[in-house]
Chains A and B, each alone.
Chain A
Amino acid sequence: MPGARRRLLSWFARRPAAGAWALLGPGLAWLTLFFAVPLAVLFGYSLMHRGTYGGVAPGFTLEHYRRFLDPLYLVVAGRTLWIALATTALCLLLGYPVAYAIARAGRWRNALLLLVVLPFWTSFLVRTYAMIVLLRDSGVINAVLLGLGLTSAPLDLLYTPGAVLAGLVYGYLPFMVLPIYASLERLDLALLDAAEALGARAPARFWRVTLPLSLPGVAAGSLLVFIPALGAFLTPDLLGGAKTMMLGNLVQNQFGAARNWPFGAAISFALMGVVFVALLVWLRMRDAGEAA
C-alpha cells in the first residue's frame, strides 16, 4: 500500500504540470460550467430572436444591438457612464486622503483598516437601505434639518441622481481606499528623505514623489470602483426611482417585466464592452508604468 502511494506521488512529482492541472481541475470545471458557459450562452442569446412566450427563438439577428442604439437607450447608457465616472472621481477625491492618513497612522493602522473594511463587507443591500433611512422625506437627515429649524419643509433628497451618486460613493469607497493604501504602504520613506535633502518641501514631495509612486494603486482603485458602478442595479433601483435609470435596471427590466431576454443580453454585452475597454486601458497604463 505505501509502495503504491509512493509511486503515485513520484509520478505526479515528476510532472509538475499534471499535478497542477489535477488540482485546478475541479475548481476550473465548476467555474467553466457555471461562469464561462453562462456568459457564452448569454452572448449567443443576444444574437437570437425574441421568443413569443419569453426566452428565445432560433435565428441570427443583430436587431437587439441595433435597438440599443436608439436615443432612448443611449440616454440611459450615457447617464450610466457619467454616474460611473463621477462616482470614481468622488471616490478618488475622498479615498486618497483616507488611504494616505492610514498609511501614516503607525500604531493605528490595523484598527483604521478594519474600520474601512467593515462597511465593505456588510451587505450592500443593508447599506443601501440605510441610505434610504437617512435620505427619505421622513428620514433622519430631514428630521434633523427640520428639528434645527434650518428648513421648513422636507428636502427631496431621495429619488435623485444625487442620491444614487451618494449611495454609490458610500458603497464603493473602500474599494478605492484599499489599493491606494497598499501602494502607499510600500512607499520607501527614504525616497521622501532624499527628496527633502534635494530641496523639496512638503507639497513638492507629495506631488513629485508620493503621488506618482501611488499611481498603480490609484489605477487599481479606480478600476475597482468604475466597473461595479457601471453595472450598478440595486442603488439606482432603491435610491434613484424611475428618473435615474441605469443600464443595470434596464437589464433587470428585460429579464423581468419586459420579457425580452435577447435585448437584455445585448445590453449586458454592450456593458461588458465598456468594462473590457476600461480593463485594457488599465492594463496599458500598468505596463507603461512598469516599463518607465
Chain B
Amino acid sequence: MTASPPLVEFHRVSKSFGDVRAVDTVSFSIFRGEFFSLLGPSGCGKTTTLRLLAGFEAPDPDGGEVRIDGAVVNARRPYERPIGMVFQSYALFPHLSVERNVAFGLEQHKVPRTEIPGRVERALELVRLAPGTFARRRPHQLSGGQRQRVALARALVLEPAILLLDEPLGALDLKLRKEMQLELKALNRELAMTFVYVTHDQEEALTMSDRIAVMSEARVAQLGTPAEIYENPRTEFVAGFIGEVNLFEGRAAGQGGGGAGGTWTVVPTSGPAFQVPHHAAFEEGVPVRIAVRPEWLDLHRPGEVPAGENALPGAISEVVYLGETMHVVVTLTSGAVVRVALRNEGQLLKPLPWRRGDAALVAWRPEDCQVLEAD
C-alpha cells in the first residue's frame, strides 16, 4: 500500500472561521485503498478537515494545500473532485424514491439512460437492500439503518476514488452499528476504494481503520495504525482518549543497569520508585510521565513481588464486572487511583480472589509502559 504515491495529501492546511482556527497546519497523507479515520472529540476539527477534502470549505488564503492524486485541488468545487460522501444525516432527497436517489449522481454524470437501472440495482444489492422491495420506496418509509444503506449505495454507484464518511453510524443502535462496521470494512477491501472516515468513537476507529489520525484542538495529535495509537500513545491526550489508561509520574533519578539500553529509576512525589526503560530525553532530574494500560497491570498479595517488576502498594476499593474482563480499582498508598484489568474466567466457577478492602500490590514489567511527551 505504501509503495505507490499517496492519493490524498494535506500539506500544512489551515482553516479559520472568523477568529476561530478550526484546522491548524494539519498535514497527513492517505494511500490508495486505505481505510483512514479522523478521530477526536467534538470540536477537534475532524469534520472541518473532511469538508476541506470534500470541497465544501476552502483552506485559508495562506492555509496550505489539499492535493488529490498529486494535483492541488484547493479551488475545486465538490462536483469537480473524484469523491463520494455519506452524510451524518444521510441527506436522502425526500422528494425522490430510493432508485431516483441512487440514480441522481449517474444522471449528473451523463451516464447513458440504458445503463442506469442496472447500476442502481447492483448498488442496492451491494448494500444488501433488495431492489425489488426498496427501489420504489420513499426515504420517509425506511428505517434508519435502511436509509443509511441507501446513502451508501448512492455514493458507491458512482465508483468514486475516495469515499468520505461523516459519522455515518451515529444514529444506529449498538448491534446494527457493529454489523455496519464490519460491512463497511468488507466493502473497503472488496472494492479496493479509499475510505476516509470521521468518528468520535474510538472503538469504532480501532475496529475499522488501517490508520488513524487522532485530532485535538485543530491539530493532529498522533497518526498511526490502531496498534501504534493504542499501545504507543505519544501524549496524555491520545493515551486518555483511546481506551482506559493509568498515569504515573515522577522525576528521573539515576540510570540503572539491566536490559538493552538499561532502565531509569523514577521517583514519584509519594510512594515507592519504579523502573522505566531508557528514553533519549531522560536526564537526571527531568520530569517523567508514563501511561500503563489496565491490562498491562497485575495484582499480587503483599510481599509476593515478581522479580524485576515494578510494584506499588494499595487497597482494593471496587471490583467492576464488565463481562469479558473484570476491572479492579485500587487506591494506592500514594492516593492515586488505578484500574487493573483481569480476564474474567467465569466468576461463578472461578471467581477472583480479590475483595473490597484487601491489601494488594499493583505490578507491571518496566517495559510494559509508554513514555508520554508533553501535550
Question: CB atoms of A and B under 8 A apart anywhere in the complex?
Answer: yes
Q: Which residues of A contact B (CB under 8 A)?
A: 6, 9-10, 13-14
Q: What would be 7 A-B contacts, judged by CB atoms less than 8 Å apart? A: A6-B77, A9-B77, A10-B75, A10-B77, A13-B77, A14-B58, A14-B75
Instruction: Kindly state the separation between the CA atoms of A134 and B9 in the bound complex, as whole angstroms.
Output: 79
Instruction: Kindly state the separation between the CA atoms of A13 and B55 in the bound complex, as whole angstroms.
Output: 11
Instruction: Kindly state the separation between the CA atoms of A187 and B75 in the bound complex, as whole angstroms.
Output: 47
Contacts of A6 in B (CB 8 A): 77
Which residue of chain B is the closest to A14 with respect to CB atoms?
B58
Contacts of B75 in A (CB 8 A): 10, 14
Min distance, Cβ B55 to any Cβ of chain A, angstroms: 10
Contacts of B77 in A (CB 8 A): 6, 9-10, 13
Min distance, Cβ B51 to any Cβ of chain A, angstroms: 14
Interface residues on chain B, number (Cβ under 8 Å): 3
- CB within 8 Å of A: which of B57-86? 58, 75, 77
Instruction: Kindly state the separation between the CA atoms of A123 and B77 in the bound complex, as whole angstroms.
Output: 50
Min distance, Cβ B16 to any Cβ of chain A, angstroms: 15
Instruction: Kindly state the separation between the CA atoms of A14 and B55 in the bound complex, as whole angstroms.
Output: 11
Instruction: Kindly state the separation between the CA atoms of A6 and B58 in the bound complex, as whole angstroms.
Output: 17
What is the 8 Å Cβ interface bit string for chain B, positions 38-70, against chain A (1 contact, 0 not)? 000000000000000000001000000000000
- Give the number of A-B contacts (CB < 8 Å): 7
Min distance, Cβ A24 to any Cβ of chain B, angstroms: 21
Which residue of chain B is the closest to A13 with respect to CB atoms?
B77
Which residue of chain A is the closest to B79 with respect to CB atoms?
A6
Min distance, Cβ B60 to any Cβ of chain A, angstroms: 12
Which residue of chain A is the closest to B78 with respect to CB atoms?
A13
Instruction: Kindly state the separation between the CA atoms of A10 and B77 in the bound complex, as whole angstroms.
Output: 7
Which residue of chain A is the closest to B56 with respect to CB atoms?
A13
Please report whether the interface of chain A is mostly helix, strand, loop or mixed according to DSSP: helix
Min distance, Cβ B73 to any Cβ of chain A, angstroms: 12
Instruction: Kindly state the separation between the CA atoms of A13 and B78 in the bound complex, as whole angstroms.
Output: 11
What is the 8 Å Cβ interface bit string for chain B, positions 156-193, against chain A (1 contact, 0 not)? 00000000000000000000000000000000000000
Contacts of B58 in A (CB 8 A): 14
Instruction: Kindly state the separation between the CA atoms of A255 and B77 in the bound complex, as whole angstroms.
Output: 57
Min distance, Cβ B56 to any Cβ of chain A, angstroms: 10
Instruction: Kindly state the separation between the CA atoms of A77 and B75 in the bound complex, as whole angstroms.
Output: 62
Instruction: Kindly state the separation between the CA atoms of A10 and B79 in the bound complex, as whole angstroms.
Output: 11
Contacts of A14 in B (CB 8 A): 58, 75
Instruction: Kindly state the separation between the CA atoms of A153 and B64 in the bound complex, as whole angstroms.
Output: 90
Min distance, Cβ A10 to any Cβ of chain B, angstroms: 6
Instruction: Kindly state the separation between the CA atoms of A10 and B58 in the bound complex, as whole angstroms.
Output: 12
Instruction: Kindly state the separation between the CA atoms of A9 and B76 in the bound complex, as whole angstroms.
Output: 11
Instruction: Kindly state the separation between the CA atoms of A18 and B191 in the bound complex, as whole angstroms.
Output: 42
Instruction: Kindly state the separation between the CA atoms of A9 and B75 in the bound complex, as whole angstroms.
Output: 12
Instruction: Kindly state the separation between the CA atoms of A14 and B75 in the bound complex, as whole angstroms.
Output: 9
Min distance, Cβ B277 to any Cβ of chain A, angstroms: 52
Min distance, Cβ A38 to any Cβ of chain B, angstroms: 37
Min distance, Cβ A2 to any Cβ of chain B, angstroms: 11
Contacts of A10 in B (CB 8 A): 75, 77
Instruction: Kindly state the separation between the CA atoms of A244 and B195 in the bound complex, as whole angstroms.
Output: 76
Instruction: Kindly state the separation between the CA atoms of A6 and B75 in the bound complex, as whole angstroms.
Output: 12
The 7 closest A-B pairs by CB, nearest first: A10-B77, A13-B77, A14-B58, A10-B75, A9-B77, A14-B75, A6-B77
Instruction: Kindly state the separation between the CA atoms of A14 and B60 in the bound complex, as whole angstroms.
Output: 11
Min distance, Cβ A1 to any Cβ of chain B, angstroms: 15
Min distance, Cβ B226 to any Cβ of chain A, angstroms: 37
Instruction: Kindly state the separation between the CA atoms of A13 and B75 in the bound complex, as whole angstroms.
Output: 10
Instruction: Kindly state the separation between the CA atoms of A9 and B77 in the bound complex, as whole angstroms.
Output: 10
Instruction: Kindly state the separation between the CA atoms of A173 and B75 in the bound complex, as whole angstroms.
Output: 55
Min distance, Cβ B57 to any Cβ of chain A, angstroms: 10
Which residue of chain A is the closest to B58 with respect to CB atoms?
A14
Min distance, Cβ B296 to any Cβ of chain A, angstroms: 46
Min distance, Cβ B303 to any Cβ of chain A, angstroms: 55
Instruction: Kindly state the separation between the CA atoms of A6 and B77 in the bound complex, as whole angstroms.
Output: 9
Min distance, Cβ A218 to any Cβ of chain B, angstroms: 35
Min distance, Cβ A89 to any Cβ of chain B, angstroms: 45
Instruction: Kindly state the separation between the CA atoms of A13 and B77 in the bound complex, as whole angstroms.
Output: 9
Instruction: Kindly state the separation between the CA atoms of A14 and B58 in the bound complex, as whole angstroms.
Output: 8
Min distance, Cβ A226 to any Cβ of chain B, angstroms: 38
Min distance, Cβ A190 to any Cβ of chain B, angstroms: 23
Min distance, Cβ B132 to any Cβ of chain A, angstroms: 37
Min distance, Cβ A6 to any Cβ of chain B, angstroms: 8
Min distance, Cβ A29 to any Cβ of chain B, angstroms: 29
Instruction: Kindly state the separation between the CA atoms of A13 and B56 in the bound complex, as whole angstroms.
Output: 9
What is the 8 Å Cβ interface bit string for chain B, positions 330-366, against chain A (1 contact, 0 not)? 0000000000000000000000000000000000000
Min distance, Cβ A136 to any Cβ of chain B, angstroms: 53
Instruction: Kindly state the separation between the CA atoms of A9 and B55 in the bound complex, as whole angstroms.
Output: 14
Instruction: Kindly state the separation between the CA atoms of A10 and B80 in the bound complex, as whole angstroms.
Output: 11
Which residue of chain B is the closest to A10 with respect to CB atoms?
B77
Instruction: Kindly state the separation between the CA atoms of A71 and B347 in the bound complex, as whole angstroms.
Output: 94
Contacts of A13 in B (CB 8 A): 77
Instruction: Kindly state the separation between the CA atoms of A14 and B77 in the bound complex, as whole angstroms.
Output: 9
Min distance, Cβ B184 to any Cβ of chain A, angstroms: 31
Min distance, Cβ A267 to any Cβ of chain B, angstroms: 45
Instruction: Kindly state the separation between the CA atoms of A130 and B75 in the bound complex, as whole angstroms.
Output: 64
Instruction: Kindly state the separation between the CA atoms of A157 and B77 in the bound complex, as whole angstroms.
Output: 70
Instruction: Kindly state the separation between the CA atoms of A167 and B333 in the bound complex, as whole angstroms.
Output: 83
Contacts of A9 in B (CB 8 A): 77
Instruction: Kindly state the separation between the CA atoms of A244 and B58 in the bound complex, as whole angstroms.
Output: 64
Which residue of chain A is the closest to B76 with respect to CB atoms?
A10
Which residue of chain A is the closest to B80 with respect to CB atoms?
A6
Instruction: Kindly state the separation between the CA atoms of A81 and B38 in the bound complex, as whole angstroms.
Output: 63
Instruction: Kindly state the separation between the CA atoms of A58 and B58 in the bound complex, as whole angstroms.
Output: 56
Instruction: Kindly state the separation between the CA atoms of A13 and B79 in the bound complex, as whole angstroms.
Output: 12
